[in-house]
Amino acid sequence: MTPWQPDPPPDPGPRRLDESLDRLARGIGGPSATALGGVFTRWAEVVGEQVAAHATPLSLASGKLVVSVDHPTWATELRYLQSVVLGRLDEAVGQGVVRSLEVRVRPR
């Protein structure tokens, strides 16, 4: 029988930044860093090039995506398309990452 020895201290070693950010985001109840990044990097794919030319995602917190548009007409259009956009975001970045849109018109 071998004598008892304490376990060595945990040494996770270097971790990938996205893994660390995902762990941090999960710890505070947020979406993964990959999902969060996907909202911004896949925006044009989700809404189409024409809408993306006039609408820019600004922030995502507690499931609410804040989007800035350059004209009130685009705000109306995006609000009208909200359920379609939310469905496409669910497919692109994961179910429930974005649960609502807040559309703001940029000052001229």
Contacts of 98 (CB under 8 A, 6+ apart): 39, 60, 63, 64, 65, 86, 89, 90
Q: Do residues 55 and 47 touch, judged by C-beta distance below 8 A?
A: yes
CATH code: domain 17-105 is 3.30.300
Top-confidence residue, 17 or 46: 46
Mean pLDDT in residue range 73-102: 96
- The answer to pTM > 0.85 is no
- Domain definitions of the chain by residue range: 17-105
**pLDDT reported for residue 81:** 95
**pLDDT reported for residue 18:** 74
Q: Do residues 105 and 72 touch, judged by C-beta distance below 8 A?
A: yes
Looking at residue 20, the DSSP 8-state letter turns out to be: H
Percentage above 70 pLDDT, the chain: 96
Contacts of 41 (CB under 8 A, 6+ apart): none
**pLDDT reported for residue 82:** 97
Q: Mean pLDDT, the chain, as a whole number?
A: 88
